[in-house]
A and B are shown apart, each in its own frame.
Chain A
Amino acid sequence: MFPVLEAQFIAPGIKRFVLQAPRIARKQQPGQFVILRLHEHGERIPLTIERSDPHEGTISIVVQSVGKTTHLLNSLEAGDAILDVVGPLGKPSAIEKFGTVVVMGGGVGAAMAFPTAVALKRAGNRVISIIGARTREMVILEKELREVSDRLMVTTDDGSYGDKGLVIDKLRQVIVEGTRIHLVLAVGPIPMMKAVAEITRGPCIPTMVSLNPIMIDGTGMCGGCRVLVEGKSRFACVDGPEFDAHSVNFDVLMQRNAMYRAAEQESMAEFQREAESQTEIVRRAQGELCAVEGSRR
């Protein structure tokens, strides 16, 4: 059991959690993720660790409500607990002094890119951050990223905040301005990462993307998260999650991520019919488990 210490919406449908997970907090490095399972009937889902505090023994994650599990997770509050959290998984981001790096976060991807941006800044890089969202209220982590960035650019699809447009427009702008870029890190929806790869391919700018395939165990055991990189199967959970953007087959990734769409919709529809009772089921089960664990001690 992993207690939820803090839980706060930072944008509509996007919640930030602080979890007590001392073992993970001690080992976490930027770019790594956890897999969690909410309750005995729950699925396992991967989520990037936004930051960790080894002294407090806490990690934080940022969760966008998309399907049943993320909706259910986002109904939890401080004082609740998560049944299983395992990590830190995946290879950490490569952190060194590259020179000028562009860190791009599309939507909730800003939270995934954040820890790497911090580490890249600490390593002495000039950090240009570009984040984008659908609309003003969906922009997240702007203040935090501004603190670690030499330059921060914000876009919204509807122009309600920052510049109207997409994060890739800003990347083009930086390139056109003649900035010599040594590395781009892009985290976000697959079409965005694919577009970034296309833009940087011509000028040969080294580009990393953090991939988000469907995953189960996260330890290299099942091969469900395999992605095509340079035409070969690689496991995102142990060989990634970051890969060279110019070698990734994004179309295959997009297609594989749609594999369970029908089942996901069925789960979601059922969840929406009885959302409150589902949260209660999780809480009650956790109460019983706590009681069992308490009696064992």
Chain B
Amino acid sequence: MNETVPQSANPLPLRERMKLPRQQMPEQPAADRVLNFHEVNLGYSAELAQQEARRCLECQKPACMNNCPVGVKVREFVQLIMAGDFSGAAAIIREDNVLPAVTGRVCPQEDHCEAGCVLHKKGVSLGIGYLERFVADYEQRMAIRHVPNTAPTGMKVAIVGSGPSGLSAAGDLVQKGHKVHVFEALHELGGVLVYGIPEFRLPKQIIREQIAYMQGMGVEFETDVVVGRTVTINELFDEEAYDAVFVGTGAGSPLFMEIPGEHLNGVYSANEFLTRINLMHAYEFPRYDQPIVDLRGKDVAVIGGGNTALDTIRSAVRLGARKAYVLYRRSEAEMPARIEEVNHARQEGVDFRLLTSPVEFLPDSKGWLGGVRCVRMELGEADASGRRRPIPIPDSEFDLPLSVAVIAVGTSANPVIQSTTPGLATNKRGYIEADPASQRTSRKGVFAGGDIVTGSATVILAMAAGRRAAKSIHEYLTTGQW
């Protein structure tokens, strides 16, 4: 750990710093933003960022940094913000995080860095995520590039998937001098960042700029390649002379509930609903060709309580839904979604129906969805996940009229790579087996990380897996030892 703490640029004594309130994130008013897909959070100004940075206690042993899955040196970059050296702050973040403008927006900081912040224990944590976002946006606005000059090693690494884990691995590997080639199945780069997360939370332009930065570092990208179909992992080694392969394909397949009526028109998976909107721009139909069901004046529900569920229902609000429900089988305390997203959704008029679970989708007279039959739940003992288990209350069924229902109850492993790569071990749920420290798989030279190993998790955990993989790929390539 870095023990040399620079001279503090903050004249305030610690006691005074602790009295400062957390600077609010400027945001679009709810009444405006439900009518557009523009970003909700507007970002700190330099003044707000510096005011917020002054709250930092500059701890000798910063728990914020230790709590960061990718190890961003939080104290150092915050000190540089205080000192007004925003470019320097960006360079410090980039040492550990190749997608700062992304994580500054979508990382659940309240579970990581901000949970470790001493201010959090005393009241409200430092706005570390907001500060990271400020620095990253400053870097993009000023077109600052920190491109390390590394001698090429002559080694070639293939990265399968351009989502958070793949981009993170690619960024670290290219800085070690390896030739890095990223394959993407879709026509646009970014994986779940582009097809999953809506414009109002993570603008596509931000992702494009972060990827352009990586292209500037020498990372090569190729779209429209489904590894496992267009080219197999064996062929990447044998015919295209790659020395190592990282598989970061994401969780992939949406889970359905296997209840009656799921095939009705108007019932979507969250992946499809969000892909139509985010990747295919269905909200700009007919300027873009891919449509989505017209939601204007319709009643819409999402089933699930995660960030994907909230992204879905908030998109539905923006598409003109009359009523927008979240149906979640546990209580608010167990909801996996970020608190900020829950608050934003409430402000936008989303109706949370908690302890509620669908049992059947009901057709209208034309074979479209007409409603959903639900059962009320109560919470029992804690289950394996530590959350209290929902139990149906007998004879509590009721019907809710609906035109569109979106299922956001999770994902399962996409089998395309596993089924076309001999010798690649998977667990009983179909995810790829990888060592949690080195991300090595059962196949020599093949590493894996992110949701395809763990099942659905977060952007930052996938990025951390990508970093660990990059480190052990580098070791493997330089020592030749498996």
Chain A interface (Cβ within 8 Å of chain B)?
23-24, 27, 37, 41-44, 68-69, 83-89, 216-224, 226, 228, 232-233, 235, 238, 249, 252, 255-256, 258-260, 262-264, 266-267, 270
Residues of B within 8 A of A238 (CB): 414-416
Known A-B contacts A220-B416, A255-B265, A270-B286; the reply to A84 vs B230 at CB < 8 A is no
Closest chain A CB from B125 CB (angstroms): 35
CB contact under 8 A between A220 and B276, given known A23-B231, A87-B230, A267-B289: no
Interface status of B24 (Cβ within 8 A of chain A) = no
Chain B residues with Cβ under 8 A from A262's Cβ? 294
A223 contact from B269, B281, B288, Cβ within 8 A: B269
**B263 lies within 8 A of A233 (CB):** yes
The answer to whether A37 touches B187, judged by C-beta atoms less than 8 angstroms apart, is yes
Contact indicator B230/A221 (Cβ below 8 Å): no
Using an 8 Å CB-CB cutoff, how does the interface string of B234-270 with A read, 1 for contact, 0 for none? 0000000000000000101110101000110110110
Q: Which A residues are in CB contact (< 8 Å) with B250?
A: 221
Is B217's beta carbon under 8 Å from chain A?
A: no
Bound CA span A262–B262, Å: 22
| Complexed CA–CA distance, A27 and B281 (Å) | 31
Partner of B416, one of A37, A88, A219: A219
**CB within 8 A of B229: which of A85, A87, A226?**
A87
- In the complex, the answer to whether A86 meets B416 with C-beta atoms within 8 Å is no
Most chain B CB neighbours (cut-off 10 Å) among A219, A249, A264? A219
Tell me which residues across on chain B come within 8 A of A226, comparing CB atoms: 256, 263
The answer to whether A43 and B253 touch (CB under 8 A), given A222-B275, A256-B265, is no
Q: Are B294 and A84 in contact (CB under 8 A)?
A: no
Q: Is B285 an interface residue (CB 8 A)?
A: yes
CB-CB nearest in chain A for B225? A23
**Is B477 located at the chain interface by the 8 A CB criterion?**
no
User: Does any Cβ of A come within 8 Å of B332's Cβ?
Assistant: no
Kindly supply a per-residue 1/0 record for chain B positions 198-218, scoring 1 wherever the CB is within 8 Å of any chain A CB and 0 otherwise: 000000000000000000000
Cβ A223 vs Cβ B230 within 8 A: no
Residues of B within 8 A of A42 (CB): 288-289
Contact with A along B275-294 (1 / 0, CB 8 A): 11001110001111111011
How does the 8 Å CB contact mask read for B392-425 relative to A, with 1 for contact and 0 for none?
Answer: 0000000000000000000000111000000000
CA gap between A221 and B413 in the complex, in Å: 10
6 interchain pairs, CB-CB under 8 A: A42-B288, A43-B280, A43-B289, A86-B186, A249-B263, A267-B291
* Interface set of B (CB-CB < 8 Å, partner A): 185-187, 195, 223-226, 229-231, 250, 252-254, 256, 258, 262-263, 265-266, 268-269, 271-272, 275-276, 279-281, 285-291, 293-294, 367, 414-416
Contacts of A27 in B (CB 8 A): 229-231
A133 to chain B: closest CB distance in Å?
Answer: 28
Q: Number of contacts between A and B (CB, 8 Å)?
A: 123
Chain A residues touching B, majority SS: mixed
Q: Give the contacting residue for A84; candidates B223, B254, B272, B280; CB below 8 A.
A: B223
Asked whether A223 lies within 8 Å of B224 as measured between CB atoms, the reply is: no
Residues of B within 8 A of A235 (CB): 253
CA A218 to CA B187, docked complex, whole Å? 12
Report B370 CB to chain A, min CB distance, Å: 14
| A252 vs B275: C-alpha distance when bound (angstroms) | 22
From B224, B263, B269, A228 is in contact (CB under 8 Å) with B263
Contact residues in A for B268 (Cβ distance below 8 Å): 224
- Which residues on the B side are within 8 Å of A88 (C-beta)? 229-230
State the CA gap A263–B223 with chains docked (Å). 28
Q: Is the CB of A233 within 8 A of B187?
A: no
User: Are A264's CB and B291's CB within 8 A?
Assistant: yes
Cβ of A220 and Cβ of B224 under 8 Å apart? no
What residues on B are CB-neighbors of A85 within 8 Å?
Answer: 224
Shortest A286–chain B CB gap in Å is 14
Q: Which A residue sits closest to B224, measured CB to CB?
A: A86
Q: How far is the CA of A177 from the CA of B415 in the complex (A)?
A: 44
Which of A37, A68, A219, A256 is B414 in contact with, Cβ under 8 Å?
Answer: A219
Select A233's contact among B262, B265, B286, beta carbons within 8 Å.
B262
Contact B229 A223 (CB under 8 A): no
Contacts of B288 in A (CB 8 A): 41-43
Contact between A219 and B226, CB atoms less than 8 A apart: yes
Q: Collect the chain B residues with CB atoms within 8 Å of residue A87's CB.
A: 226, 229-230
Cβ-defined contact, A217 with B186, below 8 A: yes
Residue of B nearest to A67 (CB): B289
Bound-state Cα–Cα, A221 to B250, Å: 9
Nearest-CB residue, chain A, relative to B230: A23
Check A222–B254 contact: CB distance below 8 A: yes
Interface centre among B253, B262, B263, B268 (most CB of A within 10 A): B263
Residue from A216, A259, A267 in contact with B286 in the complex, judged by beta carbons closer than 8 Å: A267
Most B C-beta atoms less than 10 A away, residue of A87, A216, A252, A255: A216
Give the most central of B223, B229, B269, B285: most A CB within 10 Å. B229
The smallest C-beta distance from B304 to any residue of chain A, in angstroms, reads 14
Residues of B within 8 A of A217 (CB): 185-186, 195, 275
Q: Which residue of A lies closest to B413 (CB)?
A: A220
Assuming A41-B287, A44-B187, what are 16 further A-B pairs, CB within 8 angstroms? A27-B229, A37-B187, A68-B289, A69-B289, A84-B187, A86-B225, A216-B276, A216-B290, A217-B275, A221-B254, A222-B271, A222-B275, A238-B416, A259-B266, A267-B286, A270-B286
